[in-house]
A and B are shown apart, each in its own frame.
Chain A
Amino acid sequence: MAVAAPGQLNLDESPSWGSRSVDCFEKLEQIGEGTYGQVYMAREIKTGEIVALKKIRMDNEREGFPITAIREIKILKKLHHENVIQLKEIVTSPGPEKDEQGRPDGNKYKGSIYMVFEYMDHDLTGLADRPGMRFTVPQIKCYMRQLLTGLHYCHVNQVLHRDIKGSNLLIDNEGNLKLADFGLARSFSNDYNGNLTNRVITLWYRPPELLLGTTKYGPAVDMWSVGCIFAELLHGKPILPGKNEPEQLNKIFDLCGSPDEVNWPGVSKIPWYNNFKPSRPMKRRLREVFKHFDRHALELLERMLTLDPTQRISAKDAFDAEYFWNDPLPCDPKSLPKYESSHEFQTKKKRQQQRQHEETAKRQKLQHPQQHQRLPPIQQTGQAHPQLRPGPNQPMHPSQPPVVAGPSHHYGKPRGPSGGPNRYPQGGNPGAGYNPNRGGPGGGYSGGPYPPQGRGPPYGGSGMPGAGPRGGSAGYGVGNSNFPQQGPYGGGASGSGRGSNMMGGNRNQQYGWPQ
C-alpha cells in the first residue's frame, strides 16, 4: 500500500488486494467446477471488462485457507508475463458470520475469497479435443513457442510450475497462450538441495525422476511435461497415458528405453529405482514410434523426453531449437483462427439433457463420428492465414454447414478492440456442439497431481462417448490438486464443461440439433 505524499490524495491507486467485494463483478456464467471451487466468467461492473473469477472454497475448516491458493497467489503476484495468466486482484464476499460477530467494520470476516484472472476463451486440451479439430504445424509451433517462452520466464524467476498439461494452458481468441494454475508451483533454489515433494504433476506428464521418487529436482520436470504435450499435439493423442505410477514408468521406459548408469548417471541412487527398474534393459524407440514427425520436431522431442533430467533440454534452448526456425515457421498468434468459446459450464441436468439429445441424434443418424483421438496436424507449409484456410475440420466433415460468421458467443463482447463481426472468421468451430459430452462430467482438472489409481482407464466405462481423457478443462485450476483419488474425468463432481459446447438453442439450431 503506497502512502500518499503529504498534501496529496492517493485516489488513483488500485485497491489493495482483498479489500474489494465480489459485488464489483457481475457473474455471467459458471465456466468450471471442481472440488476446490468454482470458476465464473464475470464482468467488472465499473469497467465492463470480462474476467474469470475463481472462488477459493474455504469450507475445509481444518485446513483453513487452502495452501494451493496461497502458493498460487504468492507466485502469480510476482510473475508478470504475456504468457503467464495474470492474477489481477483478490476480492472477497462477506461471510455469514459477519453479523453475528457484530463487528463495527463489517467486512472483517470474509466469507469467500475469489481470485480475479484475465479471461481466457479456451484451453489447449479443450481446443484439441474438439471433434474434428486439426492444428496446423505453424499453429503448433506458435503454441509451443509461447509455452516455452512462458515457462522460460517462470524458470528464470525460479518458479517450477509442476503441473504443465494441456488443460492448464489457456488460449484466448487472439491466439495467445498462457500458463495457468500455479496451485502446485513453487520457488526453487539453483542448488537443487530443496527437499521437494515428488507427488506433483499429473501422471501422464510426470517425468521419470519424480516417478522414481526423487525429491531434489529442478526445471527439467516441467520440460518433460512440455515434451509430452509437444508429442501429443503432433501425434493427436496423449502419448503416455498410464493408469498408475508403475504403468506410467513402464510406458516411459517402453518409449524412451530403460534408465541405467550409462544414459542417466546417478539413477541407481534415486529412491525407488530398484523397485521399478525393468527386469531386462529396454531399447529407446522414440524415433521409431514417432518416425512420422518431421526431422526437426523429432530432434527437439528427443531432447525434451530425455530420461536424465540433467541432459534434458531447457526451455531456453528449446526455444532456440531448429524446429522453430525452419519452414513452416510458427505463425503469428493473431493469425490463428478464433474459435468459439469452449467452456460453457454444464450442470448435471444439462448433461442429462445432452445425453438424451445425443441418443436422439444417434437414432436420427445425425451423430458425427466420435473421435477419441484427435487428428494429427495438417501438414502444410507456409504461413497460416485464416482467410485462406478452410475451417479446421471441413475436410473431415464436408456435410457440416458453416457457422455464420459473427459473434455467436453469448457474451460476444470480446475484450480489446478485436470485436466486430469478424470475430470468427473461421466460421467458428464447426465441431462445437456436436459432441456435447466431450469433456463430459469430467472436466476440469482431472487427476490433479496424484491421479494414480483413479485416473484410468482413460476411456473406460464412463458411457460418455467421445469424452476426452483429460476431460474438459479447467485451466484456472478448479480441480482439487491435493487429493489423489480423482477419477479419469476429474474429481467426480467437477463437471467443468469447459470443453463442451452445449449452449442455448441458437447454436444447436444452426447445427440442426434436435431440440
Chain B
Amino acid sequence: MLNGGGDEESEATTPRVVTVLSQVLERRVNRNDRLLESDSVVTGKGLNVFQGARAPSISVSKYLERIYRYTNCSPSCFVVGFVYIDQLLHRHPDSLLFSLNVHRLLVTSIMVASKVLDDEHYNNAFYARVGGVTNSELNKLELELLCLLDFGVTVTSRVFDSYCLHLEKELLCNGSGHRIEKLPSSPSLGETEIPDSDSLKGL
C-alpha cells in the first residue's frame, strides 16, 4: 500500500528538497545500520521512544514523498523537520539515526514543523494515517519531540539556509551536482532563536 510509483515519477512531482533530503537521510541510515550490525556501535536510549520493533518496509524516499503528497505541507517543513532531527541527535550524541527510528522521527518532526510554519495544516490524526502510526502514538511522539527540543521549535533563517546549503553540499560530495531550487521564503523563518549554527558540524 505504501509503494508508490517509480523514482522518475517521484522526481517529477516532488520538490527537489524532498528528494535531496531522502538521499542524504538514506545514506546516513544505511551507514548507521551497517555500523550497528557490525556491533562496533550501540545506539543510546535517548530516542528510544521513536524506535520501532521492525524496520518499516517503505523506503525513506517513498515515505517522504508520501508525506509530501498527502499532507501538502510546505517544502520548508522538510528542512525544518530535518533541523529538529539533527538537534535531537545533538542532544543525544550517543543516539543514531537508523532504520528503526527514522520514519517515526520524520513524520513527527515534519508534522511539528508544519504546525509551526503553516497557517493551514492537517491534524495529528491525519498525519498518523499518512505516517502509518496510531493517533495516540503520534501524539506521544509529538510531545516527546517537543520536550526533547526543549520546546525550541523556532528555526532562524540563518540556520535554515545553512541546512539547505549543507544538504546541497552533501549531495555534491555524493556526485550528484544538482542544487536545491530556491525555497519559497517562509514567513515563519524570521531571525529568531536556536542560533545553534554549530549544529552543522556533526552532520
Contacts and interface: CB of A to CB of B under 8 A. Distances in A.
* Chain A interface mostly: loop
A189 B138 contact: no
A52 to B, nearest CB: 17
A78 B192 contact: yes
A108 B153 contact: no
A110 B147 contact: yes
A18 B151 contact: yes
Interface string B124-165: 110000000001101110111011001111100000000000
A67 B121 contact: yes
A157 B188 CA distance: 12
A77 B152 contact: yes
Contact of A108 (B49, B121, B135): B49
Nearest to A97: B140
Nearest to A15: B150
Nearest to B193: A78
A265 B119 CA distance: 27
A64 B139 contact: yes
Interface in B71-119: 91, 111-112, 115-116, 119
Interface in A181-202: 186-189, 191, 193-197
B143 A65 contact: yes
Nearest to B126: A62
Given A70-B115, A189-B185, A64 B190 contact: no
A63 B124 contact: yes
B187 A187 contact: yes
Most-contacted residue by chain A among B123, B150, B186, B187 (CB, 10 A): B187
Interface in A100-156: 108-110, 113
Nearest to B90: A1
B191 interface: yes
Interface in A349-389: none
B35 interface: no
Contact of A62 (B124, B185, B190, B191): B124
A1 B91 contact: yes
A206 B125 CA distance: 32
Contact of B147 (A92, A97, A187): A92
A179 to B, nearest CB: 17
A187 B155 CA distance: 11
A113 B144 CA distance: 12
A160 B24 CA distance: 35
A1 B152 CA distance: 11
A73 B119 contact: no
Interface in B145-203: 146-147, 150-154, 185-193
29 contacts: A1-B91, A17-B150, A17-B152, A58-B139, A58-B143, A63-B123, A64-B111, A64-B124, A70-B115, A73-B151, A74-B151, A74-B154, A77-B151, A77-B154, A78-B193, A90-B151, A97-B140, A108-B49, A109-B143, A110-B147, A113-B143, A158-B191, A187-B187, A187-B189, A187-B190, A189-B187, A189-B189, A193-B185, A194-B187
Interface of B: 49, 91, 111-112, 115-116, 119-121, 123-125, 135-136, 138-140, 142-144, 146-147, 150-154, 185-193
Given A65-B146, A77-B154, 12 more contacts: A1-B150, A18-B147, A62-B123, A62-B125, A63-B124, A64-B138, A70-B112, A70-B153, A78-B193, A108-B144, A110-B147, A193-B187
